[in-house]
Amino acid sequence: MPNRMLCTVLHEMRTCIKTLNFSYLESLVEEAQVYADRMESKLYTIQDFDNLERQVKKLKKEKKELKPED
């Protein structure tokens, strides 16, 4: 199965409403939740990485300031 996007799932949910066929709506809601959870997790991972980068820069600066000048 090719990679699906959250927008595709939402479009299929709209189709359920248009056709009044709700038999597979519950599985679409679950699938949308999975995609949203993955996106949220990725955003937190990126935020953590950015925070680590800032800490490394700060520590490098502090290290440089601690070195005695010759």
Which residue range(s) make up the domain with 45?
A: 6-66
Distance between CA atoms of 32 and 42, rounded to whole angstroms? 15
In a domain? residue 41: yes
Token pair 């953590």 in the structure block, residue: 48
Q: Are 39 and 6 in contact (CB under 8 A)?
A: yes
**Distance from the first to the final alpha carbon of the chain:** 64
- Is the pLDDT at 1 greater than 60? The verdict is no
Q: What is the mean pLDDT of residues 39-56?
A: 96
Q: Are 28 and 17 in contact (CB under 8 A)?
A: no
- Is the pLDDT at 16 greater than 70? The verdict is yes
In a domain? residue 1: no
Q: Count up the domains in the chain and report the number.
A: 1
The whole-number pLDDT of residue 65 equals: 86
Closest by CA to 36, choosing from 17, 13, 59, is: 13
In a domain? residue 62: yes
> In the chain, at which residue ranges do the beta strands (DSSP E only) sit?
none
In a domain? residue 43: yes
pLDDT band of residue 64 (cuts 50, 70, 90) is confident
In a domain? residue 51: yes
In a domain? residue 19: yes
